[in-house]
Amino acid sequence: PGGEPLAPGGAFPEGFVWGAATASYQIEGAVREDGRGLSIWDTFSRTPGRVHAGHTGDVACDHYHRYVEDVALMAELGLTSYRYSIAWPRVQPDGTGPVNTRGLDFYDRLTDELIGKGIDPVVTLYHWDLPQTLQDRGGWTVRETAEAFAEYAAIVHARLGDRVGTWTTLNEPWCSAYLGHASGRHAPGIQDPAAAFRAVHHLLLGHGLAARALRSAGARSVSITLNPAAVFPLDPENAADAEAARIVDGLHNRIFLDPLLRGAYPDDMREHMTRFTDLSHIRDGDETIINVPIDVLGVNFYTPVYVSARPGEPAAPDNPGTEGIAFRAPVGPITDIGWQIEPAALTKLLDRLHADYGVPLLITENGAAYPDGPSADGEVHDADRIDYLDGHLRACLDAISHGVDLRGYFAWSLMDNFEWSEGYRMRFGLVHVDYTTQRRVPKDSAKWYREVIRRNGLDDRARIGE
């Protein structure tokens, strides 16, 4: 890819993976079916005040019962791959111990359906639905959860490994650790920086132990998905702003990337963590376990982050220890969820990950929320989403032209779904879901994406949604 001239409009490398992504709790529903145990998101969403309008994942998109129709939609889109997650409490209702075969049966059927349609399954083992029983014993703040996760990973691989080649351990451990344990905006809703940093470590350790188990079981490709921040100093010439950006980069990025890909926490982040907790939960040898080789790094990207030094500013709830650092409010165009749109930030992030860590990359999520609904003609005209996706795919092409080894792109999301603390009010789908009838309607963006995939590239003629 690097250096080769691009075809007009931009062509992607041969074999580029084109997918869409979802997560179990966001789409499946059927939370009481076939022996599924409770997860921390069942508990959290049923706690008044936690999720917008008291929404829960009880029914969601009813994908558990409609997966055949949903896989048919994926096939119509021409997806080469589909990224989905396994609900741990369906497989082990209590997180450890007995395997619930009926839960695994669902993923077995889904996987077969995908393969039957020529769609490559990409499995995420943990997209935030921790078994509640494990939470009751300390969740990610304790080492036992990391050990349990590796056992669970081996169980799922034993059942699906003959058909699933690509395995992702965790989705966005930054969210699990900090949103779950510092600001408490996500399950389990804890507000304790010490807990957040213990969770960082046990999530990483769980990844390492699970990746090792997957490798020894013969998995073809092992990865983890992060949501690295594209963080920039508001004034790049200002040394204090640059220092603010360095700290936020540490908390979002290097605290995960360095142990994963270089085998050690960065010194400044070790020091940062000791402001909140002694590091007794980090044992000798843990960083070596975390540093198990991965085949590709999953990157979820939505929006850039701009920071500046501002004395007296309180710490941001999601970022423990960021006193004196101001996070700039979004500027310019934003999506429905309030996130600034800046595709060039994705190019810079990919360039940086490539330069500093030299690992093959995969965009495992990118997408936009817009308040879509069917027009009088029954269609969903989401030109804004097409612009967003087109812009970010061009940003990917730019990175590829700089020599970045980018293997593929997964749109978030296949369909509208339960958007965590925002409930159903945020719609990220390529496919519209009517939550009363469960009717699916591919939006204009879905038709546009199908053309992009068919051409393996962008071209003005692919902009059919306008």
Active site positions, annotated: 172, 365
Q: Is the dihedral of CA 303, 305, 306, 312 positive or negative?
A: positive
Tokens of 126: 């943990």
User: 419 labelled as ligand-binding?
Assistant: yes
Tell the smallest beta-carbon distance from residue 123 to ligand PNW (Å): 15
* Least distance (Å) between residue 183 CB and ligand PNW: 9
β partners of residue 409: 18, 363
171 annotated binding-site participant: yes
- 100 annotated to a ligand binding site: no
Q: Is 55 annotated as a binding residue?
A: no
In total, the chain counts a number of residues equal to: 466
The partner residues of 18 in beta bridges, in order of sequence, read 409
* Of 453, 385, 392, nearest in space to 415 by CA: 385
Q: Find the shortest distance in angstroms from Cβ 5 to ligand PNW.
A: 34
The residue among 23 and 396 lying less far from ligand PNW, judged by its C-beta, is: 23
For residue 280, whether the previous peptide bond is cis, meaning omega lies within 30 degrees of 0, is no
Strands 296-300, 361-365: pairing is: parallel
Give the closest residue to 85 by CA, choosing from 180, 1, 144, 152. Answer: 152
CB of 293 to ligand PNW, least distance (A): 24
- Please say which residue, 70 or 287, places its beta carbon nearer to ligand PNW: 70
Q: Is the dihedral of CA 178, 184, 188, 193 positive or negative?
A: positive
Instruction: Please name the residue that has the structure tokens 């003959």.
Output: 162
- 66 touches 437 (CB < 8 A): no
Q: Which residues bind ligand PNW (CB under 6 A)?
A: 23, 26, 171-172, 175, 227, 300, 365, 412, 419-420, 428
172 vs 241 by CB, closer to ligand PNW:
172
Give the nearest distance from C-beta 155 to ligand PNW in angstroms: 23
107 is in an annotated binding site: no
Binding site annotation covers 412?
yes
Give the chain's count of helices (H) and strands (E).
Answer: 17, 13
Binding site per annotation, positions for substrate: 26, 127, 171, 302, 412, 419-420
